[in-house]
Amino acid sequence: MDSVDGLLKRLEQLNDIGASLSKEHDIKRLLERILLAAKSITNADGGTLYRMMEDGQTLCFEMLRTDSLQIAMGGTSGSVIGFPNLPLRDATGAPNDSMVAAYAAIHQQTVNIANAYTESSFDFSGTRYFDERTGYRSQSLLAVPMKDHEGEIIGVLQLINAREPDSETVVPFSVADQHLTESLASQAAIALSNRLLLTQLEELFESFIKLINLAVDEKSHYTVGHCQRVTALTLLLADAVVETDEGPLASFTMNERERYELKIAALLHDCGKVTTPVHVVDKATKLHTLFDRWHLIDTRFEVLRRDAELLALRRQLTLRPCVDAQAEAATLATLQSEIESLEADRDFLRAVNTSVGSNQEDALQRVRDIGKQRSWRNAKGFETEFLTSDEIENLTIKTGTLTAAERTAVNHHVVATIKMLEQLPWPKHLKNVPEYAAGHHERIDGKGYPSGLTGEQMSIQARVMGIADIFEALTATDRPYRSGMKLSQAISTMNDLKDNGHIDPELHEIFLRKRIYERYAEQFLDPLQIDILTS
């Protein structure tokens, strides 16, 4: 019989347990706390916890604890439970009333047994087998169903062998034990169902993120998986910064929720690309729009070659019937010279169209000269300049394949990302997602976009993501305009970017010192790209 003081103490303990359960975010730790709390409040030697599976017909064996045998399975123990799950119905579909935990779940009522060895209403053969193997003596038992706020059974809490407060003597679970455990089970069920609901909402939210990324990937196969790779690299570098205990970033910390916030931001950092025109994203050559317009220019060269050959033939015909070998030789020489000039210009423009390097001014001027000085007769029979002004603009791009207008369209994806993310009602623990995602194209020296922020104006998380985005782009093997760099090339480029004020020097130093690039390469890069080995 509990004393009044003892009962009050246990009630206070119950209140404290309820408060602590509501603060736990990890499902495994939450389940473990529930079981340990029930054991503590009833002074039980052992206990098990079952969770209802999604089919509503099976109890999943989640956790087992027995103090006297020093057995800990499931939860955070690291030991896998070797016991089978518990079906609520047998092969014929009849209720499995012979098992205590199943009975408690099926009938939604507590089962309190004083002595399992004298109880005939249930099948304790498994319990006796366990006792024979371990030398244990299972005696008193208390099974309490856990119901959520809608009255649905979500689990069963089962306790074994209540003990006298000041001794190891096993006694039946008292009425107070039962009521306290039922109260705890009720609080625990609410905490567990809330946590499960939040987990389901988070999974749903992440599924929507994957849906957005899938839409971006479907627009262009050249950037498939970019957001996932940037996220992985962002978290690798962020974790390394957290571990750093020296330098300007030694005080940087992230808890689990803050790390999750950064993960979400990284996954969404390019969501605005759903607004970027496909032909701009996929522009593999300078003349590419909906198709590579080089074939149009190639055809014009063929037309000019044909015209030159026809002109030579006409000149030869004028020499008939008289044969002037010298005149004919001059005509053929002129034709050959014209063909060689045409082929040289064709080869030159073909190379310019596919070149993404920095072109010299004399090469760009040659493009203009070809476009303006040559002419051809179009399909309507009109003599016109060989290259249009739009073709000249594209072929005279100095670096990459995008014109200034197309570059603006690509850069606009960050603005679109910000607009999209700022429309969402972010909860408190995700409020920084828009800021983190918006900063991946800013620069430390303030010359980035879209806001021209300096390093001091940016969060560390945004700067981390900026490095991850650049390194992924340098090493990606699926870009339309170039192949992925080897590690040595990518690191050399990153060093230049650091020296030029593009990326954070302290983060770059950690990136190199912690060899984050190698850990990333092992997961995502082609082995042929990995030309730097761990020393």
d(CA 49, CA 64): 7
Q: Which residue has the higher pLDDT, 219 or 492?
A: 492
- pLDDT band at 130; cut points 50, 70, 90: confident
**What is the per-residue pLDDT for 482?**
63
Helical H runs in 254-402? 256-268, 278-281, 294-318, 325-354, 361-373, 389-395
275 and 304 inside one domain: no
Output the pLDDT for position 11. Answer: 60
pTM across the whole model: 0.65
Count of the separate structural domains present in the chain = 3
| Best-predicted range by mean pLDDT (6-10, 25-29, 120-124, 193-197) | 120-124
pLDDT in tens, 222-271: 667 888 999 999 999 999 999 999 989 999 999 999 999 999 999 999 88
Distance CA 535, CA 297 (A): 52
Residue 359 covered by a domain: yes
Cα separation, 31 vs 480, whole angstroms: 50
- Helix (H) or strand (E) run with residue 141 in it: strand 141-147
For residue 417, what are its two tokens?
A: 């990302």
In a domain, 333, yes or no: yes
What pLDDT, on a 0 to 100 scale, did the predictor assign at position 259? Answer: 95
pLDDT score for 9: 66
Residue 215, domain member (yes or no)? no
Mean pLDDT across the chain: 85
Tokens of 457: 């104006």
Are 427 and 384 in the same domain?
Answer: no
Predicted confidence (pLDDT) per residue in 189-222, tens digit? 887 887 788 888 888 988 988 888 888 777 766 6
Residue 117 has pLDDT above 80, yes or no: yes
Tell me how crowded residue 466 is: count the other CB atoms within 10 A of its CB: 26
**Residues 438, 369 share a domain:** no
- 245 and 394 share one domain: no
Phi-psi region of 153 (alpha: psi -120 to 50; beta: other; left: phi over 0): beta
Chosen domain end from 353, 386, 401: 401
Looking at the fold, whether 396 and 468 belong to one and the same domain comes out as no
pLDDT at 144: 94
pLDDT digits (tens, 9 = 90+) for 380-428: 878 888 888 888 888 888 877 777 777 777 777 888 888 999 998 998 9
Task: Write the DSSP string, 29-97.
Answer: HHHHHHHHHHHHHHTEEEEEEEEE-TTSSEEEEEEEEETTTTEEEETTS-PPP-SPPEESB-TTS-B-T
Residues in contact with 138: Cβ distance below 8 Å, sequence separation at least 6, in sequence order? 116, 117, 124, 127, 128, 130, 131, 160, 161
Examine the domain organization and report whether 18 and 145 are in the same domain.
yes
User: What's residue 159's pLDDT?
Assistant: 95
Strand, helix or coil for residue 113? strand
What is the DSSP track for 179-203?
A: HHHHHHHHHHHHHHHHHHHHHHHHH
Residue 200, both tokens: 């389901």
Residue-range definition of the domain harbouring residue 480: 220-280+405-529
Is 61 in the same domain as 156?
yes
Closest CA to 277 of 420, 401, 394, 413: 413
Q: What does the pLDDT read at residue 480?
A: 57
State whether 397 and 409 are in the same domain.
no
Same domain, 117 and 11: yes
Q: Does 56 map to a domain? A: yes
- How far apart CA 448 and CA 440 sit, in angstroms, is 9
Residue 288 lies in a domain: no
* Shared domain check, 236 and 193: no
Could you tell me the sign of the dihedral formed by the alpha carbons of 268, 270, 275, 277, in that order?
negative
What are the structure tokens assigned to 350, written together? 């073909």
For residue 316, the model assigns a pLDDT of: 75
pLDDT of residue 2: 60
> Which CATH number characterizes residue 142's domain?
3.30.450.40
Are 451 and 515 in the same domain? yes
The answer as to whether 90 is a domain residue is yes
Among 333, 367, 401, residue at a domain's last position:
401
Domain containing 459 — which CATH number? Answer: 1.10.3210.10
Q: Does residue 258 fall inside a structural domain?
A: yes
- Cα separation of 293 and 115, whole Å? 87
- Do 181 and 330 fall into the same domain? no
Tens of pLDDT, residue by residue over 11-64, are: 666 666 665 666 667 778 878 888 888 898 889 999 999 999 988 899 999 899
279: confidence class by pLDDT, cuts 50, 70, 90: low
Domain boundary among 367, 383, 401: 401
The per-residue pLDDT for 273 is 82
Q: Looking at the domain assignment, is residue 309 inside a domain?
A: yes
